[in-house]
Amino acid sequence: DTGVSQNPRHKITKRGQNVTFRCDPISEHNRLYWYRQTLGQGPEFLTYFQNEAQLEKSRLLSDRFSAERPKGSFSTLEIQRTEQGDSAMYLCASSRQGAGSSPLHFGNGTRLTVT
Amino acid sequence: QKEVEQNSGPLSVPEGAIASLNCTYSDRGSQSFFWYRQYSGKSPELIMSIYSNGDKEDGRFTAQLNKASQYVSLLIRDSQPSDSATYLCAVIPKFGNEKLTFGTGTRLTIIP
C-alpha cells in the first residue's frame, strides 16, 4: 500500500490558463474521489468515479472543470480558463468500496494558486 | 442550513483532560458518520466511523451518535499534545451514498 499519490504538489498559474492535476489511487481501490478545500473550510465534494465511470458530479463543478479516469486507474482533473476563485487545495481520495462502508484514503493534495 | 455543522473553535483543552467535539447534521435519513483528523498542511485521515445510535470506543477515542437529535460527537480521553489538529465531522446523506459531506472542522489545541 503506497498510498494515494497526487502531482504536482503545488501549481501556480496565471488567470485564464489551463491546469491539469493527476491522482494515482491505491491500486486495488475502485472508487476515486476529488474534493476541493479552501482555508478554514472542510473538503467539498467535486466528483467521484467507480472504476472508469464518473457517477456523480457536484453542482460546484462548472463547465470549466473536467475529470477523467481512463481504464479505471489514475485520474486527471483539468480546470480550463482558471479564475482566482479556483485557488484551493485539490484533494484526491480512493476507497476499496463505497464511501459509506470503506474509509477514504486521501492523497497529500495539489495546492493551486491562481494569480 | 448547512448539511453538517461544527463549531470552528479554536477549542483549547489541558493535557490529560477530555476533549469533546460536537457535530450536527441536517439530513434525518443519514446513515453513516465519520470523524477525520487533519493536521495543519496535511490531508484528512479517518479516526472513527459510527453507524448506529450509542457509543463506539477505540482506544482513547469515543464516538457518540444520536440520530433522533441529529447529533454526533467525539470524545478524546487523556488528551495529548499530538491530538492538536482540526477534527472534521463527515456524513453520508441518505440519497448520496457516495458523497461524503464534511463540516468546516473544529480546531483543537491541547495545552501542555
pLDDT of residue A24: 97
Distance between CA atoms of B8 and B65, rounded to whole angstroms? 20
| Closest to B5 in 3D by CA, of B80, B48, B69, B53 | B69
Digit-coded pLDDT (tens) for A4-44: 999 999 999 999 999 999 999 999 899 999 999 999 899 99
Digit-coded pLDDT (tens) for A8-19: 999 999 999 999
Chain B residues at the A interface, defined by Cβ less than 8 Å, are 4, 8, 31-32, 34, 42-46, 49, 88, 90, 92, 96-105
pLDDT of residue A99: 75
State mean pLDDT over A35-55. 94
- Phi/psi-derived region of residue B54, left when phi > 0, alpha when psi is between -120 and 50, beta in every other case: left
Poorest-confidence range of A56-65, A82-91, B28-37, B60-69? Answer: A56-65
Q: Does residue A2 surpass a pLDDT of 90?
A: no
Residues 6+ apart with CB under 8 A from A63: none
The count of other CB atoms within 10 Å of the CB of residue A99 is: 23
Nearest Cα of chain B lies from the Cα of A84 at a distance, in angstroms, of 21
